[in-house]
Structure 1
Amino acid sequence: MKITVLQGSPHKNGSSNLLASEFIRGAKEAGHDVSVLDAAHMDMHPCLGCSRCGMNGECVHRDDNTIIRDAMLQSDMAVFVTPIYYFGMSAQLKMVIDRFYSYTTRLSGKKLKTVLITAAWDDNDDVMPCTVKHYEKLCRYMNFRDCGMVLGRGCGTLEATKGSRYPNDAYQLGRSL
């Protein structure tokens, strides 16, 4: 299976990317082809809602969205990786998802498998529900098939994340594919 990992953290060595690296390790050990796009550090611009693309054409922006689009359209699975900022995904990942608009028709027709990997500082029950609901709605709208989530709570530092169960959860999810 060809897997594209979309990292949405501005912290290259942060907790969410640590969890992603464990998922990747497991997926590679299971024999999958994994590529990583550091979306948070790519040249991206927000969707203008201009509809010039018609949901199935060229976007008015000339940026790295073409790299993401091509990778997504060639993949069997996408992995959304994000820290939790104010109970939602990072702006960097949200911008990537908003730009799906220019190829919604092609992308939703793929019935792509997806995974959500998150890391939040807080360790309480209400830190993840908004992000989970957003992800689930995205899956329904885009005809994605959710294959699992790693919702890392209490992962505010690398040390806390490494000492939690979440790196192993991410690894096991990758291995199970």
Structure 2
Amino acid sequence: MQRLVFSLLASALLMPGLALAQSGYYEQDDRYGYDRENVTYGYADVLRVDPIYELVRTRVPEERCGEEVRDGGDPTGGTVVGAIVGGALGNQVGKGDGRKAATVAGAVIGGAIGRSIDKNNGSASSGGCRMVEVEREERRITGYDVEYQFNGQKYVSRLSYDPGNRLRVRVSVMPDDQDGQGVGYR
């Protein structure tokens, strides 16, 4: 029973010290044994928030399907067919030697026309699917320049988030050691 009372009494006495040590309220300082951190928290009024943008370029593979693809084809077939048709028409026009000349001229003109038509039309085919790389540009927000006011003073900080109308701030107070004497009693 005495051990239980002693344990409870020791626990009650040590708990506040452990709680302060875990909270970081006291930090060790070799000069004085311990030093208070002197930190409080408050809220500042946000005056302005400006997003910071960055232009990001990415190359993304994209599948394209069902596009009609034209190839120039081989114009030989059109040339031959055009020459035959042109020659047959030229053969109908003249008599004697004029017929031979009209046949040759019709074949030459028909071949040229057939070649031109076949070359322009080509053969159209709807291809299957293929992968192509597409370059995309995107504006991304990389942070925010935030202007805020705390205790009558204006400050600007770059944050990774938009804080809204109020910003929680950490206030730390430390003595100014201008004379180089350190902190202590005189």
- Normalising by the smaller structure, the TM-score range is under 0.3
Higher-Rg structure is 2
- TM-score normalised over the length of structure 1: 0.15
Greater strand proportion? 2
> Taking structure 2 as the reference length, what is the TM-score of the superposition?
0.15
